[in-house]
Amino acid sequence: MTVTWRSAVRYAFFVVASSWMVGLVVLAAMTLTSRGTSGLADIVGPAELVFPVVAFAGLTVARRVLPPLPRWGVILTDGALYVAILVGCEGVAAWAAGDDSPLDSAFVIAIFALFSLQLPAAWGLSAWRAQHLEVVIRRRPSAGPHTPGD
């Protein structure tokens, strides 16, 4: 059994896009209250756009390749994958920017994603969308007619 491509793509797009937007809205609200409108241009740059693309691809492939799981299994698997992709993308971005400790910076961003409700939104949306995944039975290719005694 496997999850259909269409279902995996819809699931990944909804989880990644919605949770990322929740994080952006909270970040924009925090920026507006602390720095006013002058800091809004710094919220999303080219480096920040890499994460949603990689997360979308990762969750889509995970849902398609892994066997269908119960809801709690989807939440644990995809939640861990989402955090790993977030830490990986932020670590590479920090390393490319010349940070002395990119792993530390990546985990600080992950903690911030927890407090900006991006991670809780991803986990909740994953739980909700997991019940809408379409599962089909894979057909194994046959090697031709089978005769007794072969």
Residue 57 resides in a domain: no
Residue 98 resides in a domain: yes
Residue 121 resides in a domain: yes
* H/E segment holding residue 51: helix 50-65
Residue 149 resides in a domain: no
Residue 19 resides in a domain: yes
Residue 118 resides in a domain: yes
Model confidence, pTM:
0.84
Residue 54 resides in a domain: no
Residue 10 resides in a domain: yes
How far apart are the C-alpha atoms of 44 and 50, rounded to whole Å? Answer: 11
pLDDT tens, position by position, 33-87 = 887 766 666 677 776 789 999 999 999 999 999 988 888 999 999 999 999 999 9
How far apart are the C-alpha atoms of 55 and 126, rounded to whole Å? Answer: 13
Domain count, the chain: 1
